[in-house]
A and B are shown apart, each in its own frame.
Chain A
Amino acid sequence: MAAAQVGSFNPPEVDELVARCKQGELEAFDRLIARFQKYVFTIIYQHLGSVDEIDDIAQEVFLRIFKNIRQYREESSFETWVYQVTLNYIRSHLRWKSFIGRFFIEHVEHGQEMGKPTDPMSRLCVDTRNPASTLENRQLADEVLELVRGLPASQREVLIMHEVNDLTYEEAARILGVTVGTVKSRLNRARAALRRKVKL
């Protein structure tokens, strides 16, 4: 999805929606959400590996997008920028979920405040693009999944960006704020680590 739009950055309709969002139009924001919500949910799910609080996290990501959309300078595709915002929020979230973070950060349930039940699981349909059909292959796919999630964050992020989300080295480097060489180096380390651990 990202790679297809890198050359021209954004399709015209996205540019228009972004411009209207910058003017504070809620309807344009609504359409942006509709367009990118699956993308954002997927990024969160892939990086966090859990659907606990995914609904809240996605809401926070979109609120950040809404608040900071004026900072989008169109130097990259909007999708890349959304990926960057989402990944930054995921990193913050992981810090808050750490031992010290849990002590200082409290989670306020907006859904309950509004009197609506929150059940993200009921709204999500998590599937995979797994071509494996046999049980053995399925198990191996799960094993690879676990191993990827066990990688150091820096390697895992690059691997998911490049291998799963098809981002180019340049896009990954821009999102992470590192050089292309660093991205390649991290990717190579991640692949080598997986190759060592997976018994194929």
Chain B
Amino acid sequence: MDCREFKRLIWEELDGALAEDRLAEFCAHRRQCAECEREYLKQRRLKLYIRCFPTVGEVSDQFRSELLTRVRNGDLRSHYRLNYVRVTATLALFMAILVGMLFAVNSYREYMLESSSFIARYPEGYEAVRSASAPSLQHELALRPEPPVYALNMPELRTEDFVLKLLANYRNGEVSEQLVVKLAVEPGLLEGVSMKLPERSALAPFTGQPGQTVVLFPRPLPTTIYCSVERDDLIQLRRFALDLISTYGPRVTRRGPSAQLEAGLLPYDPTKVEPPGEPPAVIEVSGAGFDARTVPPGPVSLVMKFASRPQEN
């Protein structure tokens, strides 16, 4: 028997559970190894000290008589009872927090749904065609004749989808009324457009029914829109355009030669180096070349180009 095994068997021996043959080996090792003998004595001493646990000496008869009185009186209820007031208050508090969280989550969910809750429906036979809004004479006069002209090229996004997103963001308060007026109302994009609001009930947030607003377009919207906007509107439009890209993906805007504008505007040429100090003739609103500091004060011309046919999902 080695020292390691001896130490493993000490408690077994102290419990008196060691088999006779093992006990003989154990005792022999004790005699041979002074260190193991010391360890054995220490552990035996520890066992003795553990056994020195206090015990209760006497219990008076009063305890028994009190207990029997309780039993005879049928008072078997515990000394320790639930505090129902606190339990109820705690449950109510938890319920309030839970309901509050549910409402908060649903409000957030509704907010998130707002931006995608508009869906478009079109009359039968509807087909978007390449067209351009015909600005009125008054409108035409308002356009700045000189460059730069600001452009928003989204060749894979329908005009209707642009309008829907604009309205959704307006409803969320992320787009100002003025921008909606400039981009959608003044060019006549909302003429004859009707909206069917969803039926709302108190339980709607919990039933999972999406609250969708249906927008009916009576006719195809033009794919090219000219308008005149203020500097602040342009900056806001840039934010909105970036939001559009993040919503619909990077393919919404195609950079490069395909983003050329028509209607007599100067085409976008990425290879062309603009002379220093002169702004480019056409500046893409959602592009990297847009610098809010270089936007001239007063109204500026804006051209928006969208997909010429319905987008395939």
Which of the 9-residue segments B63-71, B124-132, B143-151, B202-210 touches chain A? Answer: B63-71
Least Cβ–Cβ distance between A59 and chain B, in angstroms: 5
User: A163 touching B67 by the CB < 8 A rule?
Assistant: no
User: A145 touching B81 by the CB < 8 A rule?
Assistant: no
User: B57 touching A127 by the CB < 8 A rule?
Assistant: yes
Within 8 A of A (CB), among B29-74: 42-43, 45-60, 62-64, 66-72
User: B55 touching A42 by the CB < 8 A rule?
Assistant: yes
Beta-carbon nearest neighbor of A53 in chain B = B79
Which of A55, A127, A195 makes the CB contact (< 8 A) with B63?
A55
Q: Is A186 an interface residue (CB 8 A)?
A: no
Least Cβ–Cβ distance between A106 and chain B, in angstroms: 5
Q: Is A135 an interface residue (CB 8 A)?
A: no
A-B pair number, CB within 8 angstroms: 147
Which of the 9-residue segments B82-90, B92-100, B160-168, B216-224 touches chain A? Answer: B82-90
Inter-chain contacts of A178 with B (CB < 8 A): none
| Interface residues of chain A: helix, strand, loop or mixed (majority) | helix
Least Cβ–Cβ distance between A34 and chain B, in angstroms: 6
Which of A42, A56, A107, A200 makes the CB contact (< 8 A) with B45?
A200
User: A140 touching B49 by the CB < 8 A rule?
Assistant: yes
Binding site for B on A (CB under 8 A): 26, 29-30, 33-34, 37-38, 41-42, 45-46, 55-56, 58-60, 62-63, 66-67, 93, 96, 103-111, 114, 116, 122-132, 140-141, 144-145, 148, 159-160, 163-164, 188, 191, 194-195, 198, 200
Binding site for A on B (CB under 8 A): 11, 42-43, 45-60, 62-64, 66-72, 75-76, 78-83, 86-87, 90
Inter-chain contacts of B80 with A (CB < 8 A): 60, 93, 96, 105-108
User: A129 touching B55 by the CB < 8 A rule?
Assistant: yes
Bound complex: CA A115 to CA B72 (Å): 17
User: A38 touching B83 by the CB < 8 A rule?
Assistant: no
A-B contact pairs, 30 of them (CB 8 A): A30-B68, A33-B64, A37-B59, A38-B56, A46-B53, A59-B66, A60-B79, A63-B76, A66-B76, A104-B90, A105-B80, A106-B83, A111-B66, A114-B69, A116-B66, A122-B60, A124-B56, A124-B58, A127-B54, A127-B57, A128-B52, A129-B55, A141-B52, A144-B49, A145-B52, A163-B51, A163-B53, A191-B46, A194-B46, A198-B49
Least Cβ–Cβ distance between A127 and chain B, in angstroms: 5
| Interface residues of chain B: helix, strand, loop or mixed (majority) | helix
Inter-chain contacts of B62 with A (CB < 8 A): 123
Bound complex: CA A126 to CA B67 (Å): 21
Least Cβ–Cβ distance between B139 and chain A, in angstroms: 71
Inter-chain contacts of B54 with A (CB < 8 A): 45-46, 126-128, 145
